[in-house]
Structure 1
Amino acid sequence: MTTTVIPPAVRPPAGPAHRDGNVLRWLGAYTASMIGDNVFYIALSWAAVRSGTPSQAGLVMAVSAVPRALLMLGGGVVADRFGPRRVVIGSDAVRCAAVLTVAALLFVAHPGLWLLALLAVVFGIVDAVFMPAVGALPARVTGRDQLARVQGMRGLAVRFANVVGAPLGGLGVALGGSATAFALAGLLIAVSVPLLISVRMRETPPAGGANTANTANTANTANTADAAPAGAEAVGPPGDPDGSPDGAPARGDASGPHARVPDAEDGAAAVPERPATAWRDLRDGLRYIRGHRVLAPLIVTIALGDLGFVGPLNVGLALLADRRGWGASGMGLVVAAFGAGAGAAALLLAWRGTLPRAGSAGAAALLGGSVAIGALAQVPGVGAAVGVALAIGLLAGLSGALCGALLQTQSDPAYLGRVTAVAGIVSLGLAPLSMPLTAAAIGWWGTGPVFAGSAVVCGLGGVVALAVRDLRRAELPR
């Protein structure tokens, strides 16, 4: 029987992302949530210090990392199965309710460390689904040609939240103690929920349709009768502003619960597969990443870059400032310079929207940043350290923004939650483990050799990016 293919309607472009009200509502929600997170951690650390010993406070602050690292892969599956907006809204609602509940309890009683530890665990569990969903959301609110600009705007939002959140948390503690700071964090997170509800979602393109040429595993290619033309964005039935219910599998989406597989003979739809399970979705996502000629080496590059940067620029910088006699003010200047450089890189990408030869440019920035990391341990004075830190922030920020933009644009949107989860495990699970190792290594060998070793690890990420042809030649949409 002959099947007539009717191409889906194409939603007209909304213009540049920084002028798109839909993107700006999402960005406002994300910024409010991130500021709330910063206030929350200030409140949590202060309450933990006041309620227990320093070691107990450290345990409370670290306990959320365990469920986050263990459950994040599952969180990526949840984001892809139910839709990132729905997951982000639910996550923010749960976080808001948990923080406001703890604030109310602290206003009337002093429950002790167990309540703070429980709150930290809840945050870690929710973060495991929140973070992959946040990573998958930009592809649903704007076109592929704007994803790089959105990545830059997101980087600016993170820098703004870091600058504003800590003073707000401190102000809340000063005015009314930890309870007031927790209440402020809950209210800020609550602001994000109505903004997210107002954000319109684009329909997810069929799995395998966008990047089949880059993927070795094509078993999940969508049924050709349902596939949209390249670059087209389908719109749902009249009256549905989102094109399809958030989280509903796109037509021909092989990752959905009623997926169809192509017939080996002529590409026609065969009998339905068995209903997909979460475990099968997880395996499909990992197989998709492993078989992708750009994403697989890109995640290795991100991992090596994070492992090389995180230790020296956190605990290593504090030890370096102490040994050089820069003091807390000198260290603050170095940290501020790094933040300024990273913010400038995010602003550049938000303004330009794309950069030519993104894969090569990201690799070159990573290599330059690794050299600057090694040099930081060799400079004697604060002024020179500020200049080097500014270069590190600019180069690291540029490589991170380009890698994040490539992660967004190279991933099939149907798998983006799982892709983000794998990258998040590397950044939030493995990289923080380097901090105690960095501190111990500096105690044994000093700052120079350890910073040099970290620079080598970071530089290996740039070498991988340059060595893999598909990643080296990867471009951002224009």
Structure 2
Amino acid sequence: MTALTPPLELSAPPPFRRDRMVHAWIGVKALSDAGDAVWTIAVAWTAVQIASPAVAGLIVAAGTIPRAMVLLFGGVIADRADARRVMMVCNAARVGVLVAAAVWTVSQAPTVPVLLAAAVAFGVCDAFYEPSAGTIGRQLVRTDDLPSYAAVIQTASRLGTMGGAALGGLLVAQAGLAGSASANAVTFALVVGFLAIALRPRFRLARAPRTSSLRAIGAAFAHLGANPTTRTLVIALSGLNLAVGPAVGIGLALRAHAEGWGAPAVGLFEGLLGLGAAVGAAAVARWRPHHEARSGFGALLVQGAGIVALGFGPVWTVAVAAAVVGATAGYASVLLSATFAATVDTAFLGRMGSLTRLGDDCLMPLAMAGFGALASLTAVWVPFVVAGGAMMTLMLVPLRARAFRTLSLRADD
């Protein structure tokens, strides 16, 4: 299967293993992710120091609502404008927000309004940045190299985030919010510089016609209705985190509390999830399956069983299940993101990417609350069974579709 509107090759890219420009971009992106993790830790820590738990939670989540409101418009821009320039502008805006926050907190103590303003500004920047960033891989490497690109960039991103999170606690303790904001501003400035000087797309994607934004959003939904393969991908990718997110986000803590395992067990489970995800993503680069979509959705079928297993057994079986959930998540994420980029009409790639992200922003709070409520009303294991069963049921839809069972992104197919 190929994209409905194939991209125009501007310059022939080298094989991925020798593509120094893309390798450098992946390194810069990982450094930026580390800076993001430093900032996230700093905001959360500062919030709990100056506000009540409820207000601190509001601060941490404050960027979600504006991001959800603006995300589809970000997708419209991604399908019209130069993605590299949009990414430069958004990162420059992030630098401005971080510098302003650092300057304010050097001269005055951090306040709730300042943290809220920074979180909202970051949410808006994310809404415009993420859809364009989601199309950049399609502009850099051949279709055949998309799985390798996704495997390496996702692995590097996870490692950067893990390293930044570890550093973030130390940095905010020593340098405060101002130091953390300054460190993240430096990483974003490096991204802006790399985008401006070194990163050059090799493929030109088809551009959407310049109509009103609302018409463009309506056209995206019409495209979704007219293209069953794209529709199945968007629905499946939108619903993935709604099953696994609550299970690992609140479910593991509920199990540890109910069994008396304590906070160290939660830390162990989270570590195994992250390690498993990194291993799963890296495995694609080493052992790439012939049929990417089928293997990706098959891995998520296994993940559904892993989610169910999180609700039962002693600590060691939960630890094994956490590693399985992480590994299948990393493995499937690489394969399905590559499939998505390769098969969605490039004139709609930004808007389709925005739709997949809306599931997290709009429905994740409800999924989290529902998981907790079901555990309170029944037993702790029940929501794990419901979430895992829902995941497995959802995955049966694409696995039954012949288009996904036979799809291969390899150049010789």
TM-score (norm 1): 0.81
Relative contact order, higher structure (CA 8 A, sep 6+): 2
Q: 2: distance between equivalents of 1:428 and 1:397?
A: 20
The answer to whether the 8 Å contact 1:159/1:343 transfers is: yes
Counterpart code for 2:78 = A
Whether contact under 8 Å (1:22, 1:141) holds in the other structure is no
Residue 224 of structure 1 corresponds to none
Check the 8 A contact 2:138/2:341 in 1, yes or no: yes
What's the offset of the Cα at 1:469? 2.5
Q: Residue 53 of structure 2 aligns with which residue?
A: 54
Q: Is the 8 A contact 2:39 2:180 kept in 1?
A: yes
Work out whether residues 294 and 474 of structure 1, in 8 Å CA contact, stay in contact via their aligned partners in 2. no
1:265-317 superposed Cα distances (whole Å, 9 cap, x missing partner): xxxxxxxxxxx332332222222233223211112212332211111011111
2:305 counterpart residue number: 371
CA distance in 1, matches of 2:374, 2:9: 59
What is residue 333 of structure 1 aligned with on the other side? 268
**2:309–2:321 CA contact under 8 A, matched in 1:** yes
| 1:195 matches 2:194 | yes
Rounded to whole Å, the distance in 2 between the matches of 1:406 and 1:59 is: 36
- CA distance in structure 1 between the partners assigned to 2:28 and 2:132 by the alignment: 14
Once the two structures are superposed, residues 181-209 of structure 1 have per-residue CA deviations (whole angstroms, 9 ceiling, x without a partner) of 1211222222211112210112424x4xx
Is the contact made by 2:30 and 2:157 (CA closer than 8 Å) also made in structure 1? Answer: yes
Partner-residue secondary structure (3-state), 1:294: helix
CA contact (8 A) 2:9 2:204 kept: no
1:157 Cα deviation after fit: 2.0
**C-alpha deviation, 1:423, in angstroms:** 0.9
Matching residue of 2:25: 26
Partner residue, 1:439: 372
Quickly say closer, same or farther: Cα 1:432–1:88, change in 2 above 3 A. farther
Tell me if 1:358 matches 2:292: yes
Q: Which amino acid aligns with 2:154?
A: G
State the identity %.
Answer: 29
2:209 maps to which of 242, 256, 261: 256
Q: 1:65 deviation in Å?
A: 0.3
* Equivalence map 1:203-214=2 (5 Å): 203-205=203-205, 207=206
Shift of 1:407: 0.7
Give me the whole-angstrom Cα distance separating, in 2, the residues matched to 1:439 and 1:293.
34
> 1:308·1:455 contact (CA, 8 Å) conserved in 2?
yes
Counterpart position of 1:476: 409
Counterpart-to-counterpart distance in 2, 1:112 and 1:157 = 34
**Corresponding residue for residue 264 of structure 1:** none
Of the three residues 300, 316, 331, the one matched with 1:398 is 331
Q: Contact (CA 8 Å) 1:304, 1:457: kept in 2 or not?
A: no
Q: Is the 8 A contact 1:29 1:193 kept in 2?
A: no
Could you tell me how far apart the structure 1 residues matched to 2:167 and 2:310 are? 31
SS at match of 1:412: coil
Runs of 5+ unmatched residues, structure 2: 1-7
1:9 deviation in Å? 7.6
Quote the residue 1:11 is aligned against.
Answer: 11
Rounded Cα–Cα distance in structure 2 between residues aligned with 1:295 and 1:195: 32
**Where does structure 1 lack aligned partners over 5 or more consecutive residues?**
1-7, 208-248, 250-254, 258-275
The answer to whether the 8 Å contact 1:293/1:471 transfers is no
1:411 aligns with 2:349: no
How far apart, in 2, do the equivalents of 1:174 and 1:401 lie?
35
Structure 1: how far apart are the matches of 2:214 and 2:65?
21
Partner residue in 2 for 1:140: 139
Query: Could you tell me which residue of structure 1 aligns to residue 280 of structure 2?
Result: 345
Match of 2:71? 72
Deviation at 1:440, TM superposition (A): 1.9
Distance 1:177 1:12, change over 3 A: closer
Query: What is the letter of the counterpart of residue 145 of structure 2?
Result: Q
Answer yes or no: is 1:309 the counterpart of 2:244: yes
Question: In the alignment, what sits opposite 2:5?
Answer: none
Report matched runs for 1:214-253 at 5 Å: 249=207
SS at the partner of 2:204?
A: coil
The number of residues matched between the two structures is 403
The Cα shift of 1:432 comes to 4.2
Tell me the amino acid that sits aligned with residue 123 of structure 2.
G
Amino acid at match of 1:140: Q
C-alpha distance after superposition, 1:199-247 (max 9, x if no partner): 0112424x4xxxxxxxxxxxxxxxxxxxxxxxxxxxxxxxxxxxxxxxx
1:462 aligns with 2:395: yes
Normalising to structure 2: TM-score of the pair?
A: 0.93
Structure 2 SS opposite 1:379: coil
Question: Can you list the C-alpha shifts for 1:55-107, whole angstroms capped at 9, x where unaligned?
Answer: 11111111110011111111111112112111111111111110111011101
Partner of 1:234 in structure 2?
A: none
Superposition RMSD in Å = 1.8
Is 1:176–2:175 an aligned residue pair? yes
Q: Structure 1 residue 46: deviation in Å?
A: 1.6
1:152 alignment partner in structure 2: 151
